[in-house]
A = this chain, B = another copy of it.
């Protein structure tokens, strides 16, 4: 079994997680090259990951590095052209979500993927690989909850990280584009249905800076799907207790609820406050295993020459839905979603 050689582009917070998984925790893969426009990230690659073949120019890496595949963890606005360039260079591609920041970009990525149908294109909706979410999907397939027809999703970042969110607010594209994309993907995945209408709203009661940036610290959206399913998404940035991602899928025969208590681990504390479960502090802690498993799956797709479950079109659709949600939120009206 020959190793799959991989080059990574982008070594920020999440990029480092992916790189460590590729370098140390997945069978049959070798992290052979790394690219970043940040010098210290290339030092990191050499010293911590043992990757000597480093680049500051992405196209250079595609041309020269001994790699079968590229893992893209750059700023969202760079994803699409980097996807196309890598595919054109004959590489398999893993891109972190979202697919792109405009629909036009997404279409370019779609075209590139279509042109290279024999290469793997993998879009990083890692929640699908989280053991609890994967278990829920499996149970649904087995019919445990009958026909799933409603999803209620919550995603709240910890108050501890709010300063960054405030700084990022003016350029983030708004809370829905920024935070709801995973929930939107889960809604489509669990309901096997596409939203055709959305109505959104928001609120700010703690950090007026969000309002000042034409954004909100809390957003809610209600979706109606083509086959009649319903979605409700609640995103926010100010959970005092930690990082709260919770999802409920309601079916005709039962309900699945994932992580109502975003517990850090299996230990409960009985002390003067009562019985306490401490909570996870952020997505790297909550989804560490999911990030590893999705990358393992990417490598398995390459090896077996099978496209992954999530397609480039899923990427475009999630982005379209996030945009429609933002439009509804800004215009204060019900928005029909076309694809």
Residues A113-155 near B (CB distance < 8 A): 131-133, 135-136, 139, 144-147, 149-150, 152
Chain A window 213-257, contacts with chain B (Cβ cutoff 8 Å), 1 for yes, 0 for no: 000001010101000111010101011111010000010111111
Residue contact B203 to A149, C-beta cutoff 8 Å: yes
Selected contact of A274 from candidates B236, B250, B277, CB within 8 Å: B277
Would you give the shortest CB distance from A111 to chain B, in whole angstroms?
36
Q: Which of A206, A250, A270 has the most CB of B within 10 A?
A: A270
Known: A199-B334, A234-B232. A278 touches B269 (CB 8 A): no
Q: Cβ of A85 < 8 Å from any Cβ of B?
A: no
| One of A21-29, A53-61, A87-95, A314-322 at the interface | A21-29
Residue of B nearest to A268 (CB): B257
Residue contact B261 to A241, C-beta cutoff 8 Å: no
Q: Cβ of A294 < 8 Å from any Cβ of B?
A: no
Residues A179-221 near B (CB distance < 8 A): 199, 201, 203-206, 218, 220
Residue of B nearest to A134 (CB): B265
Would you give the shortest CB distance from A202 to chain B, in whole angstroms?
8
Residue of B nearest to A261 (CB): B275
Tell me the bound Cα distance from A146 to B271 in angstroms: 10
Residue contact B230 to A218, C-beta cutoff 8 Å: yes
Chain B residues in 8 Å Cβ range of A334: 199, 333-334
Question: By DSSP majority rule, is chain A's interface helix, strand, loop, or mixed?
Answer: mixed
Selected contact of A252 from candidates B238, B244, B257, CB within 8 Å: B238
Chain B residues in 8 Å Cβ range of A260: 257, 260, 268
Tell me the bound Cα distance from A147 to B333 in angstroms: 27
Selected contact of A222 from candidates B27, B222, B268, B279, CB within 8 Å: B222
Q: Cβ of A276 < 8 Å from any Cβ of B?
A: yes
Residue contact B279 to A274, C-beta cutoff 8 Å: yes
Residue of B nearest to A133 (CB): B267
Q: Cβ of A259 < 8 Å from any Cβ of B?
A: yes
Residue contact A203 to B232, C-beta cutoff 8 Å: no
Would you give the shortest CB distance from A272 to chain B, in whole angstroms?
5
Known: A241-B270, A261-B275. A222 touches B203 (CB 8 A): no
Would you give the shortest CB distance from A152 to chain B, in whole angstroms?
7
Residue contact A135 to B264, C-beta cutoff 8 Å: yes
Tell me the bound Cα distance from A209 to B12 in angstroms: 55
| Interface pairs (21), CB distance under 8 Å | A24-B26, A24-B27, A132-B266, A135-B267, A144-B269, A144-B271, A149-B203, A149-B218, A152-B152, A201-B224, A203-B228, A236-B250, A240-B254, A253-B271, A257-B268, A258-B266, A258-B267, A260-B260, A261-B268, A262-B275, A276-B277
